[in-house]
A = this chain, B = another copy of it.
Amino acid sequence: MKAEELMSTDFLYANTNDSIEEISIRMEESKRFNMPVLNEDMSLIGWVTSLNVTKGLRENKKLISEVMNSFDEVVSVYADDSARLAILNLSGSKVFTLPVLNRENHVVGIIRSCTILEQLSEMYEKSVFDIYNEISQNLDITFDDLIDASTAMYRKDVGKEIKPEEYLKKIKTTTFGEAIWATGGLEGFFVGMIGIGEIAIAKKLLF
């Protein structure tokens, strides 16, 4: 997955000779806390945040060029960089937004941390029931056998009996994120999943 797949091409930008007052109004109206500063051919030359703007207003500065952060201080990614690098840059540098450049250093989009947060948390929101369905469709196991194997795994792990219909009810109301916490982490969840596969296949081979 490439960085460009995470970016929005709908973004605001400033020019060096925009007035600070004008940009402050544009930021307030659009509820954006920062924007790239570009020259005429969309090359990145700097970055301006609402904190540069408050300082400029307080100190009676006039132009964006007087308050912006220079190119060297801007964290950016190339459109064909990996999505992973974009996420690492975002979480590492504690910025909310990354400009995305093509190889000519023109800004072609913006990656926002709220978009990434939505995408990452989407996976945690996936229902375990849906995951089970997908698994039984893709492997040679019926849904019922999968549930039976899961109750056996549950009995082994938790040391308590659970009826298949109770287990079904459990996974219908559980998200992947909750299951990870319940099994003590990602590896725990995988160990459980592989264990279920083992029990299901053992049953098939032995009976």
In the bound assembly, the distance between CA atoms of A178 and B84 in angstroms comes to 8
Contact partners of A50 in chain B: CB under 8 A:
33, 49-51, 53-54
Contact partners of A35 in chain B: CB under 8 A:
none
In the bound assembly, the distance between CA atoms of A27 and B55 in angstroms comes to 10
A31 interface hit (Cβ, 8 Å)? yes
When all copies of this chain in the complex are counted, the total is 2
Contact partners of A57 in chain B: CB under 8 A:
54, 57-58
Interface of A: prevailing SS = helix
Contact A84–B191 (Cβ < 8 Å):
no
A164 interface hit (Cβ, 8 Å)? no
| A-B pairs with beta carbons under 8 Å apart, 25 shown | A24-B54, A24-B55, A33-B33, A33-B49, A33-B50, A33-B96, A50-B54, A54-B57, A87-B124, A91-B118, A113-B113, A113-B117, A120-B120, A126-B186, A134-B191, A135-B187, A139-B194, A139-B195, A190-B193, A194-B194, A194-B196, A195-B197, A201-B202, A205-B205, A205-B206
